Copies of this chain bind each other. A is one copy, B any other.
Amino acid sequence: MKIALAQLNPTIGDLKNNAKEILKTAQQVATQGVNLLLTPELSLCGYQPRDLLLNAYFITEMEQTLHQLARDLPPNLHVLIGLATPNPNFVVTGGKPLFNSIALLTAGKVQNIFHKRLLPTYDVFDENRYFTSGTEPNCFTIDGIKIGLTVCEDLWNDEDFWGKRSYLINPISELAEQNIDLSINLSASPYSLGKQQVREAMLKHTAIKYDRAVLYVNQVGANDDLIFDGCSLGFDRSGELVCRGTSFDRDLIIVEFDESKQDLKLGKIQPLNDCTDAEVWQALVLGVRDYIHKCSFQKVILGLSGGIDSALVAAIAAEALGADNVLGVLMPSPYSSEHSVTDAIAVAANLGINTRTIPIGDLMQGFDRTLEPLFAGTEFGLAEENIQSRIRGNLLMAISNKFGHLLLSTGNKSEMAVGYCTLYGDMNGGLAVIADVPKMRVFSICKWLNREREIIPHNIITKPPSAELKPGQVDQDSLPPYEVLDAILEAIVCEHQSSQQLIDRGYDAQVVEKITKLVKRAEFKRRQAPPGLKITDRAFGTGWRMPIASK
């Protein structure tokens, strides 16, 4: 039996076009002798639809789209499609009004509907907000082959692999008891750094443990803060990798299940990225491209400060959208160093993007004059530093509004963590491209980018980072070296460590207390930040839900 894995890139809520993509793919594989087409979790509405699911009319439209699709699909092809379906009994049994479902379509009809059993409700996931768990193991038979179906999280609860359970039941072990021939997992599993290695180890473990081949189809593309990396997989019953889809791009993988051996045949295996910098780079490029296009924009602008963060964001944007669609704006102030301008011009030249230069000295003086009656006798400080940043933010938004270019913000995760960024200033933008990229990773990606030729000018990488909001200012005046800062932040943000634990690990107590306090105090800024592309296990954003008014 030939099976096709469609690594699709749906747009959230765009039922019509998502259905069209599925149909196109189905028509294509039907001519290639494929019996079964797999699409990702919630392939009809995209993952995550979030509160669109609370609109009953959206669910109705989704069902209508599914039935139309059933009629339109090639009749001999079996197709699995992900969608939300009503839970007819919730009024009586309690629970949520929906299931996270997979429909099996064949011969013009919806033959069966299966429900996801394990509903992730942690980090960025809110599935208990919308869905009730399915209670039955999901399997079906095609051409005499009994197929066990799991949906994403359903497969992520093996206590042997994880050393613990996250849910009471384990759907795959129930399916194995039902003597399935092949296991299929339809997913929308968001990217984070190093996650593919975990997925492969986990799937390999599952294949061997249950002595069943397993196919895993993942969504690809970015939706708001979440990037889906595709990288769909197949493992045979001995745990050997038999196929792998492209990372960070649409793909269509066709594999063959050998009935006599009850196993998958070797197919095409796409390579993984050869280094983590390349992996993050690809993720961010996809994240920018999809956000811009799915929001119906073509062009972006960003402030080019001559620093490494905006240089990297410019490079990502140029790769994602084409250099012609990126405008870099230089806004030097009297405090800007000469190299800030020459470095910004140099990176723009390397990337081939256009630039405009708008000096802000006059506007700074204008604000000084305007505020003179209130500020007379006070010293230059944070207020004045922020005014500069907000003048730039206003100019960028003015250009954005005037020409319809989306503004990209350029702050990194280390800055966002400690609040070394100006709300309504450099934090402005529709998308915070590297908001989940720690500063040390910003450096390493830029070095990797320069592996063949200089893209990020050498001076940008080697000069001491500075916001240049007062004369001679550098970040390290008031922060520990970035190696230390990033290690402490990783412990606080991702590992939930206390100050005491960090001090016990050998970090300076004063530094730790200072960083902890800065992270807490910056919460109000993060709450108002644009969506930031998630590339780590714990990003600020939808998966970071902290109180502000707290002690």
Contacts and interface: CB of A to CB of B under 8 A. Distances in A.
A52 to B, nearest CB: 7
A383 B146 CA distance: 61
A93 B164 CA distance: 9
Interface stretch (A26-34, A100-108, A359-367, A481-489): A359-367
B363 A370 contact: yes
B498 A551 contact: no
B381 A402 contact: yes
Contacts of A373: 356, 358
Given A371-B358, A528-B529, A387 B382 contact: no
Nearest to A119: B128
A48 interface: yes
Contacts of A378: 402
Nearest to A406: B524
A188 to B, nearest CB: 13
Given A92-B165, A390-B397, A430-B524, A531 B550 contact: no
B94 A166 contact: yes
Contacts of A528: 528-530
Interface string A342-380: 000000000000001011101100110111011100100
Contact of A294 (B223, B360, B367, B549): B549
A50 interface: yes
Given A500-B57, A501-B57, A549 B387 contact: no
A501 B394 CA distance: 40
Interface stretch (A7-15, A71-79, A250-258, A263-271): A7-15
Contacts of A122: 129
A549 to B, nearest CB: 4
A49 B547 contact: yes
A462 interface: no
A550 B45 CA distance: 10
A383 B382 CA distance: 28
A224 B387 contact: no
Interface of A: 11-14, 17, 46, 48-52, 54-57, 90-95, 121-122, 126, 128-129, 157, 163-169, 222-224, 290-291, 294-295, 356, 358-360, 362-363, 366-367, 369-371, 373-375, 378, 381-384, 386-387, 390-391, 393-395, 397-399, 401-402, 423-424, 428, 430, 496-498, 500-501, 524, 527-531, 542, 544-551
